[in-house]
Amino acid sequence: MKFLQLITQNLFSKILLILLCLVSLPAWSQNNLEALLLNASPETIQANPELFDYMNNLAEPALADNCTSCHGSVLTGGVGVPNLVDYEWLWGIDGFEMTGVESVMEIMQTILYGVRNTDCDEEIKMFGGCPDTRYSEMPAYAELGFDEASLNNMVDYVLSLSGEDANPFAVEAASSQWPLCVECHGVDGTGYTPFGGPDLTDDIWLFGSSGRDIYDVVANGRVGVCPAWSEVLDAATIKALATYIYYKANGFI
Ligand code: HEC
Ligand code: HEC
């Protein structure tokens, strides 16, 4: 009798154990995918269909809930808000020399800490921004003493950088002031991503391509802000978002 009791008890506990395993299996494999995603390079994620789907299923709803309101429904941006799915970066990524891992790290830095994020306690701010946020400022040159003529000449200089029609005398006159701009836009005007200075030589314009638009930026400055997401989204979602944006920008998906 005692023997039989032991067997049934044992059997019961075995069934219980198996049931428990079955119930926790999806959670376990989810955790496993999460850990894999956090450590994987974009190449590894793309090579693993299960991991790729996991990444995609995290990124798409997070974009719809948090990002498309500003970056647009297909992430192509608008005035003052960059297109996230072209291979033109304001921050961190400079050309195609960077590896996939390095590029995704740069995009993660922007998503985690934002651009010019000031939404934190005053005591922890550095140079006016929250810790680790991307920071720089397009100065307002009208306030810095540029007169009307210098501002107009500078507009012609900027237009000439991208091969647009420009008055050569104005370009010549502005060339002595162009050194003020190179710290953030590069000597040749192709931009400087550590400071978020846009490329002024291409035909992609964050704030518009007309002489009037350019005048307005140079005269009045700009302080575009992307919020920080480190306290809103979890690490796996942020990695998924950065990877997704990297894939889209490269035309991989
Ligand atoms: C309130 C509007 C707003 C929201 C919401 C927003 N962004 Fe931004 N984002 C911006 C603006 C504006 C910039 C450009 C900042 C600048 O001027 O450099 C930007 C820049 C970026 C950049 C840098 C692009 C580059 O070329 O380097 C990335 C990446 C980015 N956002 C990702 C996201 C993601 C991911 C989300 C959602 C989780 C998001 N943003 C939500 C406004 C927003
Ligand atoms: C301290 C860094 C810094 C300096 C110096 C600077 N810029 Fe900028 N500039 C920026 C940043 C950053 C942006 C993007 C602003 C934003 O995203 O809010 C910008 C944007 C612009 C744009 C708009 C580009 C577009 O795609 O719409 C123009 C034009 C421009 N700058 C011209 C100039 C000129 C001309 C000078 C010198 C007289 C100059 N900048 C000096 C940082 C700088």
- All domains of the chain, ordered by start, with CATH? 40-133+227-250 (1.10.760.10), 148-220 (1.10.760.10)
Residue nearest to atom 6 of ligand 1 (CA): 67
Handedness of CA 201, 207, 212, 217 (dihedral sign): negative
What residues pair up with 222 in beta bridges, in sequence order?
Answer: 138
Closest alpha carbon to 62 in 236, 251, 253: 236
Would you state the pLDDT for residue 31? 82
With cut-offs at 50, 70 and 90, classify the pLDDT of residue 22.
low
Would you state the pLDDT for residue 95? 76
Percent of the chain with pLDDT over 70: 89
User: 3-state SS of 64-100?
Assistant: HHHCHHHHCCCCCCECCECCCCCCCCCCCCCCCCCCH
0.75 exceeded by the pTM? yes
Would you state the pLDDT for residue 132? 95
Please tell me the distance between residue 217's alpha carbon and the centre of ligand 2 in angstroms: 7
Handedness of CA 140, 144, 148, 153 (dihedral sign): negative
Amino acid present at 216: D
Please tell me the distance between residue 9's alpha carbon and the centre of ligand 2 in angstroms: 75
Q: At what angle do helices 100-113 and 235-250 cross, to 10 degrees?
A: 130
With cut-offs at 50, 70 and 90, classify the pLDDT of residue 252.
confident
Reduced to 3 states (helix: H, G, I; strand: E, B; else coil), residue 17 is helix
- State the Cα–Cα distance between residues 149 and 4, nearest whole angstrom: 101
Please tell me the distance between residue 218's alpha carbon and the centre of ligand 2 in angstroms: 7
Residue 73 phi, psi (nearest 5): -60, -30
With cut-offs at 50, 70 and 90, classify the pLDDT of residue 27.
low
With cut-offs at 50, 70 and 90, classify the pLDDT of residue 20.
low
Torsion of CA 128, 207, 196, 156, to 10 degrees: -110
Q: What is the mean pLDDT of the chain?
A: 92
User: Given ligand 1 and candidates 76, 107, 112, 115, which is best to mutate, with the most ligand atoms within 8 Å of its CB?
Assistant: 115
CA distances from 35 to 22, 40, 51, 106, 239 (A): 20, 9, 10, 20, 11
Residue with tokens 């922890």: 124
